Structure 1
């Protein structure tokens, strides 16, 4: 393995001593010990928590090798000093590395350097007493073989259980800038409250009440206020998958001609309407204790990790979900209002009640009014939406795989586009799936008519007929309000995420650079996944350092320590690199000219017109509809006869040096369709035989990563290399309706056989092409994974003399 730790806080020796005291590795029994060997023994005695007696401890010492010929027990019998090699031999074993498999017993320092583990500074081959303390400190902050810090490993073994009821323990307890698990996760309060939001989306004459589930340490309260991690999840109260499936749209439909228009942005811009609202509920009484509890939530393991570290966790599903009022709206301002209502209650600026009928108010007096939002996909999307309101109390968001504009999720340049893996889904389908009020028959009976009208309205306004950007989509474009973001932002996204495509995060990343906030981004090689249980990167430690700074006001330097940009390497396994920026618009651009089968840096003198047809034989078409992987392979394979006349492939010469693409590639084409309709799709390809990463992370150990002692676990995962080499890798893609050449909200005329110049931005990327590989471009029409597929007899012609590929290069 290769360790990548970005969240280790530089700490001077005085602070190291103070922190070792605070976590009880130094105490009155060993703080003034002058014998390094005895001090090391005392550290080990505390660390080997399973040994409750001296006899068992001595037994444990015999299980470690200190040198090639001596166990640790034997070493202590013959040494009154601590040799560097002996210390790190034992340190590697404490970190679960195996001698002769992971390292040579007489060369631990070489292994530490190779794995990228922290090594203490030392002046000789023998530790002084101060050097030993420092070495132990850094060992505690260092990752083990499972990608977990040694101090967190000790926590899972019960090291901090004796801290739970100790009134002398500082709370929060900080070690190396991060919060330690000194709150008993088995002593949690589970409370349900109903937050009154400033909206009436089901039009029943009452402000919507929103159910929120709170999980917090038992000792939290007015005397021990804690921050809140809030996850807004429309899935939290259950889903209606069967009803959603019934609404799925047929994608085997033809592309239709659209009536040209002269739309401007002003003509389709969404403008908030002033709607009269019911009066707020009158408070009849107040309470300090909730009346309702719950047994188990649909948790996020990163949130679970922080419960023992002095953070409360709040889950809310929002309007139109089980036990809440209102109707689903799929990403519009009403859903944003619903989302921030919970934050306003946590920050002390909104009312909540113990139930939905008695108007008994309950305050979040256990909260320090500092809120962070977490979550992936729709959950991260609502975190982004909330941040764009500038709501008071929201200090930071950790937004993973999040939508920043719903148009970029379900549409692309005037085309209806499916999120990867969900052909036929749209806003109405998602609304139905998350309308969990349907799960309660009595509640649904009262709101059924209202809901059916709402669903029909969504279906109409999302406009699957044209795919144009309209007022419906403008209302769901959070990027219009990026200037309002005041919360610090930590973004996470997959460079191969074809569900929430990378444009969503790239536009957000570049759109907040002038907001004077701290912004960080982590880009991984995965698709639509969480990365908090990966072995090779310290994401949980990064989140701990970040949230300890943001929500506990600890000056730990997180904003400086965590790199602005961390990107997982696509060539070398378990390698993450830091950069100063991603997709900088000022990046150098490399231009490739198109000619038959070729991408060339030099423009060839001979003009060529190449053509392909979108019409496939019916048997092949039907096969591709059912087997998208087969279509993808045939599309890119240069020797494919099935797709030979149905796409154009251009490729560069073999690269003499490694090439790094960084940003948004652009395809410029002069193209004609023989019909008054047309769509084009593009894929950027890495051609070259190579054993590439598997598409999905490999589970290294099921339930192999515990959050703390006797508490929830997660599967330990990592991207591993495939056993078989493949001839290509799709880097990125893009699409356009040829009638939306000017803008997605404007429809242009398309005359048959007339050439038009188009410019199409592909999805942003960061990708390393290896030496000897070729950069390729595939131009085609129907994308069986994303576009509608009508199998229409349309022939496209490309004038290569006026066509090129522009790729951004990382210097």
Structure 2
């Protein structure tokens, strides 16, 4: 995604060489480089699509201790709580005082969240704090400490219905998105701001040039994607970390329910006590619009950002854990593909961890990269980041590789086929279509680790298909699908499909507490601190596990959705039904000598809920196949001589813990 510098005509280069040299020297000085930004604009005027590109790096030359800290309430122009008055959302701001005195207008970094009062942000669950007069004291996370001294404004927005904001939480709906978009509009002179929640004293954002970045993990990153999908003018870039692209896919997988409650449960967790008392009607709409049947409704259409990727004006720097079992990588994969189809400038980091912020995975590299990204996108610095590889991928704990584009060129969708083996439930996987059948009975007590741990053993609860040992490394990069033709014995049935790398390795222990990290007592500091807002955060290290297999992609479905992905129906016992399961996007290398396995089974304990019945399902192998994204295409799937299956001692990682149903989990 290279972004070419604006070229100056040869004549002007000749005539103005001396002047340009002097200008560059000025821009590179600490004070000017720190504050350089697109030319000032009047409120209501949209920032330029492309800022002038200048060399340099913003420097920490402004006082964090003396920074202006203030609160503004922005009118969202909607009345979510139906009290006859449009809702106002609380916006806490910190910005350099020195630049306010000079009149230089600056860009803004924003994190809009529902978690600032209820649950906290980051690995240490930091919450906002205020002084006796209600002025903001602590801004969670490091964005304020690090970027305000470098000439940025930082804005932390309470979504409607949370903390100090009016309105109601609607979990990804119009009110959530408008809570943040209204603030982008206010920063660009298009919305009204007030000095209090109920008063009439207006205030304008005369201190900013309107260029805005949104960043945040989980729910926060989801809101950033939602605002970007409105095409909001002035939103220059977003950095969604472990974000949801479709709220239906957070709660369901093609009809199969993933949690014990719907969005109403999350709303209850984050709403302020005042909002809870006045928002009963909104809560009921969340219940009515999200039936546990898993049927697609209008509520889910409103909360699906993927179809609106064609409206995105902002660049996107996406981050996701490939073992995130809270916000699964299907969210990243479908969003990424839609952005690519619409030519959106983008960059990605994919880690081996679960629902973890890159600040707690690869801290130094992350902060340096984020700094350069914001300098490029918001200040217009030509620092080369747009010409660097698009993707950073964690291959093993703390070992990262890069790709010029992602998925890499040469990736092809290849069909692999299961076939009968020498014993029931232990089949083969290869390029040629299979034949015969395999039968298993849903056992809701077992999980994917139970199945994978006995991949070479005939067991009644799964059908496993394993390749011969690979003759060379095999890289899978992107999303996959598994099409299953199954005949059930009951009127309801749920299905799971997982891809497994069978062979020894050391991985991040994503299913343990911390989801791949261990928090240490030592702290490192990322900017200046004040008495009420420390820039020092606990260090982490990779939590690893020695394993004999690695599950690297998974997907689920309700077989009752075989005819309509958005609407389930009772099955006909004894009749075959065909359905395609979407497996989460991943990037995994199965090493030479390891084996690639596909497992098809029923309920994946702790990850989907069981059906009403306990079905036995018979797979028609001739009509069952996997379509996998192989780098190098079919020719990359090279195997050696087969090995004799035997009893396995596979232990794998610890069984998945019950996933916390709110985006953010234990490490929100």
TM range (shorter): 0.7 to 0.9
Summarize deviations over 1:774-809 as a string: whole Å, max 9, x none. 111111111212222357331111122332222110
Match of 1:663 in 2: 478
Equivalent residue for 1:558, pick from 359, 364, 385: 385
The 1:17/1:705 distance shift into structure 2, 3 A limit, reads farther
Q: CA deviation at 1:634?
A: 2.3
- Could you tell me whether the CA contact under 8 Å between 2:492 and 2:612 is conserved in 1? no
Match of 2:111 in 1: 231
Match of 1:598 in 2: 427
The 1:302/1:549 distance shift into structure 2, 3 A limit, reads same
Match of 1:778 in 2: 599
Please give the alpha-carbon distance, in whole angstroms, between the structure 2 residues aligned to 1:387 and 1:504: 15
Q: CA deviation at 1:633?
A: 3.3
Q: CA deviation at 1:608?
A: 2.1
Q: Given the alignment of the two structures, is residue 755 of structure 1 paired with residue 580 of structure 2, yes or no?
A: no
Q: CA deviation at 1:298?
A: 4.7
Counterpart secondary structure, 1:576: strand
Structure 2: unaligned runs, 5 residues or longer:
6-17, 38-53, 121-130, 633-668
Match of 1:793 in 2: 614
Counterpart secondary structure, 2:359: coil
Match of 2:231 in 1: 390
Please give the alpha-carbon distance, in whole angstroms, between the structure 2 residues aligned to 1:453 and 1:371: 34
The 1:794/1:410 distance shift into structure 2, 3 A limit, reads same
Summarize deviations over 1:314-364 as a string: whole Å, max 9, x none. 111121123221111111122212220111111111111111333001111
The 1:593/1:609 distance shift into structure 2, 3 A limit, reads closer
Counterparts of 1:143-162 in structure 2, within 5 Å, are none
Q: CA deviation at 1:513?
A: 2.1
The TM-score normalised by the length of structure 1 is 0.66
The 1:583/1:337 distance shift into structure 2, 3 A limit, reads farther
Counterparts of 1:343-742 in structure 2, within 5 Å, are 343-418=184-259, 424-436=260-272, 438=273, 443=274, 448=277, 450-464=278-292, 466-535=293-362, 538-561=365-388, 563-570=389-396, 573-582=398-407, 587-596=412-421, 597-603=426-432, 607-615=435-443, 621=445, 631-638=447-454, 644-695=459-510, 696-699=515-518, 702-709=521-528, 712-719=535-542, 721-722=544-545, 725-742=546-563
Summarize deviations over 1:698-717 as a string: whole Å, max 9, x none. 45854533113556123333
Q: CA deviation at 1:390?
A: 1.0
Counterpart secondary structure, 1:526: coil
User: Please, what is the CA RMSD of the aligned residues?
Assistant: 3.2
- Could you tell me whether the CA contact under 8 Å between 1:291 and 1:354 is conserved in 2? no
User: Which of the two has greater strand per residue?
Assistant: 2
Moved more, 312-321 or 172-181: 172-181
- Could you tell me whether the CA contact under 8 Å between 1:697 and 1:717 is conserved in 2? no
Structure 1: unaligned runs, 5 residues or longer:
1-5, 25-162, 241-289, 419-423, 625-630
Counterpart secondary structure, 2:316: strand
The 1:227/1:23 distance shift into structure 2, 3 A limit, reads closer
- Could you tell me whether the CA contact under 8 Å between 1:502 and 1:764 is conserved in 2? yes
Counterpart secondary structure, 1:575: strand
Q: CA deviation at 1:173?
A: 7.3
Counterparts of 1:106-255 in structure 2, within 5 Å, are 170-172=33-35, 177-221=56-100, 223-238=103-118
The 1:16/1:406 distance shift into structure 2, 3 A limit, reads farther
The 1:182/1:383 distance shift into structure 2, 3 A limit, reads same
The 1:181/1:697 distance shift into structure 2, 3 A limit, reads farther
**If you compute each CA radius of gyration, which structure gives the higher value, 1 or 2?**
1
- Structure 1 runs, 4 residues or longer, greater than 6 Å off: 14-24, 173-176, 583-586
Q: CA deviation at 1:671?
A: 0.9
The TM-score normalised by the length of structure 2 is 0.80
- Could you tell me whether the CA contact under 8 Å between 1:565 and 1:579 is conserved in 2? yes
Please give the alpha-carbon distance, in whole angstroms, between the structure 2 residues aligned to 1:657 and 1:536: 33
Summarize deviations over 1:98-138 as a string: whole Å, max 9, x none. xxxxxxxxxxxxxxxxxxxxxxxxxxxxxxxxxxxxxxxxx
Please give the alpha-carbon distance, in whole angstroms, between the structure 2 residues aligned to 1:19 and 1:658: 48
- Could you tell me whether the CA contact under 8 Å between 1:672 and 1:756 is conserved in 2? yes
Count of equivalent residues: 579
Summarize deviations over 1:715-758 as a string: whole Å, max 9, x none. 33343643xx3111111111111121133223355211111232
Please give the alpha-carbon distance, in whole angstroms, between the structure 2 residues aligned to 1:427 and 1:604: 42
Q: CA deviation at 1:197?
A: 1.4
Counterpart secondary structure, 1:455: helix
- Could you tell me whether the CA contact under 8 Å between 1:683 and 1:777 is conserved in 2? yes
The 1:415/1:632 distance shift into structure 2, 3 A limit, reads closer
The 1:193/1:765 distance shift into structure 2, 3 A limit, reads same
